[in-house]
Amino acid sequence: MLYTRRKNFDRCESGTLANETRVIVNTEEFGSPAMVDGTYCVRKVSNMIVGDRLRSLRETKNLSQGDIQQRTGLLRCYISRVENGHTVPSVETLEKMARALEVPLHQIFYDGEEPLKLPNFPTRKKGEDVPWGSSGKDARILRNLRRLLKRVSESDRKLLIFIAQKMAQQTTLRAKTP
């Protein structure tokens, strides 16, 4: 989470107006509202300054701000303001800069030496492991049955469940007999 402080409009080298925003980054949790650089902060923020990371990536690739300007279409003064922490870039702008630097977007935020470890998500079930009614035609039948069962009285629902149980028992008995 980043805290920002808005200042008055400022002029870039090109003479255009740009809204100046200063990023305040701190790892301490503020117990009560604390004044940091003229701004009241009340929440914990992570210790990451995107501008410094962008500058270090740009310098490792031996690119100038002018090169980034040509590759992204962003003004050089804007790139400078981002790198100096005066402006918070949007996600779109970060995507443009990542493309210009020829790095994946996550590398702007992650500077570790080890490769990024992805969480271990459970795999999707296939074939027989997929429960009935979870997809396709079976899901439509189940959805229709649920819609119709809403309209039926409680006693009729109990009767339908009883009949379904008896039918399931008969099916298992037939399957067991040779």
7-11, 43-47, 96-100, 113-117 — which one is most confidently predicted on average? 96-100
What are the tens digits of pLDDT across the range 36-82? 555 554 443 344 588 889 999 999 999 999 999 999 999 999 999 99
CA 64 to chain centre: 30
> Which class for 68: exposed (0-12), middle (13-18), buried (19 or more C-beta within 10 A)?
buried
Which residue in 68, 3, 72 sits closest to 39, CA to CA? 3
Ranking 76-85, 117-126, 130-139 by mean pLDDT, the lowest is: 117-126
- Predicted TM-score (pTM) above 0.85: no
Q: How many CB atoms lie within 10 A of CB 23?
A: 19
For the chain, which residues make up each domain, given as ranges? Answer: 3-109, 134-176
Q: What is the pLDDT of residue 111?
A: 72
CATH class of 3-109: mainly alpha
